[in-house]
Amino acid sequence: LPLWLGPFRSGEKEVLEFLVMDSLNRDCVLETTVDGSPCQHSCSIGALQTEIVQCDSGLFSISIDFEYSGAVSDSFKLKGNGQFYGLYAYSDLPVQLEALKADGTTKYEFVVVDQQAACRNYVDLGTVDCFCLWSDLAFYAGDCTSDSTYAMKVNFTPGNVDSFNLVTGGRHLGTFGVEELPLTIENFPASGGTFDELWICASLTNCCERFDIESPICARKPCSISEVQVTPLECAEGQHRFLLDFAHEGNASDHFLVKKNNEWVGRYKYAELPVKIGPFWGMDSSTYILKIIDAINEDCVSEIEVIDPGCHDCHVGDIKVEVGECTSDSTYRIILNPEIQGAFDFYVNGHFCGTFDSGALPLTIDDFPASGEAYDYIKICGLDSSYCCKEKKIESPVCARSSCPFEDVRFELTECDSNNIFYATIFLDTFGLPEGTFIVQRENALLEFSYASLPVRIGPLQGGETFYKYKIYDAINTQCRADLTIGRVICPSQCDLEVGRIDIAECNEEEVILLIDSVQGSYPGFDVTFGDQYLGFHKKEQLPLRLKAKLSEQGDEVSVKICVSDNITCCVEKSLSLSNCGSEVSCGIGALQFDTVECRNDSFYVNLNFIDNNVDSGSYLLKINGERWDEFSSADLPLHVGPLAAGADRKYSILVQSGLNEGCVAELEFGGVECPASSLEAGLRLLVVQSNNFTNYIKVPDFISDRSIFQLFDLGGRLMYEMEFSADTRRALVQVPVNVAGMYLVKIKAKDGQQHLSKIIVP
């Protein structure tokens, strides 16, 4: 006696009740109570400011922000409606909650609780009901109308919206009726940044959407923080504060950060300048650096050197620590030697561990209490001082670290509903049934679950473009962690991936050349997997692709999977035969010949035929005069080729190449084909656009000459096909890979920039 008991979490209970009982005589009892919050310091959390940042399709997202001061912890809990939303660092403010139900009946409340439980605040949001049917929202930034404003045009299809509000930078621009559309804001306020934030909100439903509008160059100003002034305020019990003020302009956010010697001080609003910062515990009358940084633009920064006002005479110098081996499963040995004079107090991981005298230094502690994590924290303070202190982080020996309750993480996805909403179920491979909780974190949002509740379900989550990546870690031993990457989840109604030919171009015993000719869809990139081999990320403009893969123990077949990049749900899969690999592929082309000539106006067609020995899956490539013309199979023989320009001076070289063996080719040459008459008007030139099931003829204007650019677009403006062609003849042929009926737009571009547009119909 006396005994040290603990540690206890200050503020967790109002009082702590203790009962002391003799081990032999149970009637010999003493009871006592102590304050449950002995470590409580002054702490203030200001009014919670909420903003609905997105509200649509029965779901909404909300941003929560607040000011804080005093002796807050490093983090706070966010709760509401009986649900724990997560544990957040103050530096993460504002925090955002996503995909909450906006059903018009649920009354929402949000409670912020510091680690000191008595330090808290809350807000009642009430019900949220949003459902908007507007569409085709469009915003156009015009020219500057002053040095700080420019013209902005707004237009959309109203749907069920009667009136709406426009807000930028926290400034309400007004309420407008849909009858005013298209609406022009002549003096839209510029923030000075590259992008200006614009919110459009329906007046009755709180249905809001946020847009980043690219500002005109004339409205942009660089973010700057200048004329920094720091005024020392009075000392109180060894603490001091400063009054901070400065000038700012340009591409800045609403908040700025303050750091002292690169240590976090606080987050403040520009609108509340000048602000008081602190309190700081003084160490001596030395100098330190205050850094002011814009909350979003890290390049917008200013520094100032500040002199500590010197509110005391205490001094703690360098803390030297030598770490030894473990002395039990929860302790290890250290040798402590701080630079201090006289008596001092010693703290470990925030807990008081005794008072010692500098005359006893260096001090060997055989039972230094381990936290179980990779690092422990010690603090040296002057005797009975709460401000004359210095901390040091020490790396614990491996033998003192707690083992991780889990070793692997897996997930399963639910099916998407009609709104493209899904959930993810998380599984942890644990050692037995651990006690305690673990954290699931995505960006600034945290969810806490008990191990006993495994597996756990997270959501609702929105399918589409969002990339989902999580960090999972033990709530106590945060070094025990794993990454969970789900990626993009593209729901069936969002997946428009179509893949053309997937085939083996050539192979041997060790490797295979994979041929992919076309990939269609609204997504720009895709991933290719050959069995278990990842063959990389590719863009559609790189097509057609020839990819090399290694052959292992694949069997007679292998699965080739093509997926929209960073996703596992929107994929096309095909099985390919490997039966011909490992043996030499012979050439299956023989007796290449053409047997029919058909004239049409001033062009002709040929029927191409040859003997197919059926050893290479019947896949062939056709080239005419060195240009890639078509791909076909033996089932297409005889092949109807054309139109080709007729004329006594015209020469043609036709080459057929095996799809499995590039060295297997057959070639013939002919020329001098003359058709008896031409129906072309004098001087008229035609562009023949041909695919498998249609032919269109387009008149080529005179300004298109030499080699020109041919582009084919669908009516949505998506580029379907592009190539160079020669327009110096009376008839030029372009073959395009279009098999879907509809109307398309043809654009012919000359080298000097002139263009000719024409529409074609594919029946």
Q: Interior CA angle at 646 toward 643 and 652, to 5°?
A: 80
DSSP string, 662-679: TT-EEEEEEE----S---
How high is the pLDDT of residue 615?
A: 44
Which one is the CATH code of 589-671: 2.60.40.10, 1.20.1440.230, 3.40.50.300, 3.10.20.30? Answer: 2.60.40.10
Q: Which two tokens stand for residue 271?
A: 């609108």
Interval 228-269: pLDDT, tens: 999 877 666 667 788 999 988 776 777 899 998 888 888 898
DSSP string, 685-744: -EEEEE-SS-EEEEEPPTT--SEEEEEEEETTS-EEEEEEEE-SSSEEEEE----S-EEE
CA distance 184 to 187: 9
Q: Which two tokens stand for residue 162?
A: 């009667």
How high is the pLDDT of residue 680?
A: 43
Phi, psi of 553 (to 5 degrees): -80, 75
Sheet holding 686-690, edge to edge: 695-699, 686-690, 731-735
How high is the pLDDT of residue 681?
A: 43
CB atoms within 10 A of CB 528: 21
φ/ψ region of 22 (left if φ > 0, alpha if ψ in -120 to 50, else beta) reads beta
Q: Residues spanned by CATH 2.60.40.2470 within the chain?
A: 135-219
CATH architecture, domain 495-577: Sandwich (2.60)
CATH of domain 224-307: 2.60.40.10
Judge contact between 561 and 573, C-beta under 8 A.
yes
Strands 731-735, 686-690: pairing kind: parallel
Q: Answer whether CATH 1.20.120.80 is correct for domain 43-126.
A: no
Parts of the chain with a pLDDT under 50: 284-285, 584-585, 615-616, 677-682
Which one is the CATH code of 135-219: 2.60.40.2470, 3.40.640.10, 3.40.50.300, 3.30.750.200? Answer: 2.60.40.2470
Q: Residues spanned by CATH 2.60.40.10 within the chain?
A: 43-126, 224-307, 495-577, 589-671
How high is the pLDDT of residue 332?
A: 93
Which one is the CATH code of 686-762: 3.40.140, 2.30.30, 2.60.40, 3.30.2010? Answer: 2.60.40
Strand runs (DSSP E) across 22-82, as ranges?
29-35, 43-45, 49-56, 59-65, 68-70, 75-80
CA distance 95 to 68: 14
| Fold entry, domain 319-400 | Immunoglobulin-like (2.60.40)
Phi, psi of 360 (to 5 degrees): -90, 0
Model-wide pTM > 0.75: no
Biggest alpha carbon–alpha carbon distance for the chain: 127
Class of the domain covering 406-485? mainly beta
Count the alpha carbons within 13 Å of 564 in the hemisphere toward its beta carbon.
Answer: 22
* 182 preceded by a cis bond (ω within 30 of 0): yes
Buried b (16+ CB within 10 A) or exposed e, 182-206: ebebeebbbbbbeebbbbbbbeebb
CA distance 150 to 171: 15
How high is the pLDDT of residue 7?
A: 79
